[in-house]
Chain A
Amino acid sequence: MAVTERRTAGLDVERVRADFPILSRTVGDRPLVYLDSAATSQKPRQVLDAERDFYERHNANVHRGIYLLSEEATELYEGARAKIAGFIGATDPDTVIFNRGTTESINAIAHGWGRKFLKEGDEILLTDMEHHSNIVPWQLAAKATGATLRYIPITDEGLLDLSELGSLLTEKTKVFAVTGGSNSLGTFPPVRQLADAAHAVGALLVVDGAQLVPHLPVDVAELDCDFLTISGHKMLGPTASGGFYAKRELLEEMDPFIGGGHMIHEVFHEYSTWNEVPGKFEGGTMNIAQEVGLAAAVDYLEDLGMENVRAHEVEIAGYALERLLGAGARIFGPTDTSIRGGAVSFWHKEVHPHDLATVLNEEGIAVRAGHHCNQLVMRRFGVPATTRASFYVYNTKHEVDALIEALGKAESIFG
């Protein structure tokens, strides 16, 4: 195999790429250049094998059967919980709740905690940088409880504007929900600083970890967040894997979100009592094989080393930013790679993002064009949409070069 890419700080990209079957396919007659990992990551063979192995050798429902397969399935499922808890620094595995990922998690928190404890006069603090999945569930909770929504604005550079934080985060604030990494601007907000500020006024901090956990070493004790959501499919795991972490006392006091089998202790005609944490939040047959697959993804990332993952993304994102700016594109979000991740949004000259994405597709390049579920961000910067290239462990500088070359083609068509 021709090794064309220089090793970056311990991450051998060509070796990584060889683990991802999909990266060897073509689009038309072009090799696939996948630059949409912020939407969903590709999956290594190790994850696919783990899922297949589960179905081929251990498949049974968990927590119920008094037979070997069910015990094995339960062991794998609970083993995945322990693995994922360890990955984010949670010392108690039962503080990790499984579900389909970040959207379901924020709904579970806004419903199970928000609707139970928020009341009229309370405030929910969000930011203009949030993904719709960290806005809409809170709007629903606000409507149900009479609580009020407030938002931290964004600076021209694409950072949270914390200059008025003192007037936005007050004694009235009961919960502050913030992204750990912007999916359109790439920005990493200062989570620990925000956690301290929230706790100082008695508010809880919810961190949307969809774009954080896959890309940086994360330790919930260091972040001191009260909730952290995990999107498994964005970190090499199967779709509908992941869930959320919460401090145990919060899990104990909040309501369940999904009612059904397994989440109960006893059922009576008029009411039920709840199963212990985490079962209280896992009603119905769960995404067992997916969480087992996610555990394999965590193994894969730990083998690479999250410091190496981060170093690789800094290098690729830095190179992409430099080349895009050089080509004359407008970048949305910070250009300092020390405070941003690998999602790079831009607008190239006169070419509408949809037109650009279509031209790029002809070159085998997959990017996202649209509002990225960030309509508040689009409005803030006065654009209807952006084109977003996002990078992960398997992306190379050659792929950035291919993107830049294709921009030239789009320019010649639409210029």
Chain B
Amino acid sequence: MALDEIYKEVILDHYKNPRNKREIPDAKLTCSKNNPLCGDEITVYVHADGGKVLDVSFVGQGCSISQSSASMMTESVSGKSVEEVGELSTSVRGMLSGEIEPDEDEFGELVALKGVVKYPIRVKCAVLAWDVLQEALAGEGAAAATSPH
């Protein structure tokens, strides 16, 4: 059933017990966005160093899809390089638009969001956290690209 697919236990677990839902007060990289269509709000805090994402957290409110997606995202990007995060972000978008059949090894729990593809209007909810992260990292990405190595 579609319902089972979309609201897999993973999604509900992340919604009810969000991971890394906290501020990082001294985070250099942070960004907030909202989706006025449904009022989802997400702020992402990133602590990065040397082009590597060391700690990511979020705060926000909204529907189960937007909040669980943010929670899963924070777990999936910690420890990755900015470049790897960008690649994963592209893959997640591909999965949510139905263009990529997710590989569970690469995606981990993020696969749980696959069912959202059947609800185009809710894809925006699932993508919001990734949009915020990408914008937060834009500064870091630019810095990494121009830093003399």
Seen from chain A, the residues whose Cβ lies within 8 Å of a Cβ on chain B are 28, 352-355, 358-359, 362, 369-371, 375, 378, 383-385, 413-414
Contacts and interface: CB of A to CB of B under 8 A. Distances in A.
B6 A371 contact: no
B76 to A, nearest CB: 22
B145 interface: no
B38 interface: yes
B38 A384 contact: yes
Interface string B1-45: 111001100001001000000000000000000001111110000
B107 interface: no
Say whether chain A's binding surface is mostly helix, strand, loop, or mixed.
helix
A370 B122 contact: no
Contacts of B12: 413-414
B37 to A, nearest CB: 6
B3 A385 contact: no
Interface of B: 1-3, 6-7, 12, 15, 36-41, 61-65, 119, 122, 125
Contacts of A371: 36-39
B21 to A, nearest CB: 16
A352 B63 contact: yes
Contact of B64 (A355, A378, A383): A355
A384 B40 contact: yes
B125 A354 contact: yes
Nearest to A413: B7
A369 B125 CA distance: 13
B38 A369 contact: yes
A362 B125 CA distance: 19
Contact of B39 (A362, A385, A413, A414): A385
Say whether chain B's binding surface is mostly helix, strand, loop, or mixed.
mixed
A28 B119 CA distance: 14
B3 A359 contact: yes
A370 B6 CA distance: 19
A158 to B, nearest CB: 19
18 contacts: A352-B38, A352-B62, A353-B63, A354-B38, A354-B62, A354-B63, A358-B6, A358-B122, A371-B36, A371-B37, A371-B38, A375-B36, A378-B39, A383-B39, A384-B38, A384-B41, A384-B61, A384-B62
B39 A384 contact: yes
A318 to B, nearest CB: 29
A50 B39 CA distance: 41
Contact of B119 (A352, A358, A385): A358
A413 B15 CA distance: 11
The 10 closest A-B pairs by CB, nearest first: A384-B39, A354-B63, A352-B63, A362-B3, A385-B39, A355-B64, A385-B38, A354-B38, A355-B63, A370-B38
A359 B4 CA distance: 10
Contacts of A354: 38, 62-65, 122, 125
A181 to B, nearest CB: 23
Contacts of B119: 358
Given A375-B36, A384-B61, A384-B62, 7 more contacts: A353-B63, A358-B3, A378-B39, A384-B39, A384-B40, A413-B12, A414-B12
